Amino acid sequence: LSFVKQPVCKKCGKEIQDAAEEFCGDCTKRRHAFESGLALMNYDETARRSMAWIKYKNKREYLDFYAEAAAEKLRQYENREEWQFDGLVPVPVHPARKRKRGFNQAEVLAKRMGERLEMPVYPEFLYRIRNTEPLKELNPDERLRNLQQAFQADAEAIRASGVQNVLLVDDIYTTGSTAEACTRALLSAGIEKVCFFAVCIGQGR
């Protein structure tokens, strides 16, 4: 596994080549609504296989390892103001996909991270209302348009909880379109600040 090493983009957390650069090419080109991001591993072939085994071969025990590593990494940032949050919100999958797979890997990961960090998890804050087409062939702008109407946040649940700042949790971050669409939905429903954590992060396009 190729763990993310410094220097990294100050916005999304991707590895960058030059420490003199503050942001990766993607974050230089487009603004993101999330505050900042962190990731464990570079999304290479080994990571892709590991993620596929979790999703399609039910290797949920891998998520224990990733949750432990995630909690360890997040503890290194717990004294930074931008990384203060009240709870974790997993990126949802469409109910049809969840029924087929039997679980949402991001939700399982968030719950296991929450146990280790002693933080509440709020899967009810965000849900998926559209089962989008595969995103692999789309560029970042097309991905975001495709996802814009896919996520909805529950403003009532958010208001009742009193939660203001959350950590969005997902398995893979590539172009950031999913994180962006989820962040916008949460902000529009009353959340004040969103950071994200992903197990794997790609180099974008």
Q: Would you call 13 exposed, middle or buried from its count of C-beta atoms within 10 A (0-12, 13-18, 19+)?
A: buried
> What digits encode the pLDDT tens for the residues 61-79?
999 999 999 999 999 998 8
Round to whole Å and give the CA distance between 4 and 168.
Answer: 19
> What digits encode the pLDDT tens for the residues 109-168?
999 999 999 999 999 999 998 776 655 566 767 777 777 778 999 999 999 999 999 999
> What digits encode the pLDDT tens for the residues 94-112?
888 888 889 999 999 999 9
Q: Would you call 141 exposed, middle or buried from its count of C-beta atoms within 10 A (0-12, 13-18, 19+)?
A: exposed
Q: Which of 135, 136, 116, 109 is nearest to 55 (CA)?
A: 109
Cβ within 8 Å of residue 160, ≥6 positions away = none
**Inter-CA distances, 2 with 15, 25, 42, 59, 76, Å:** 11, 21, 6, 20, 19
pTM: 0.92
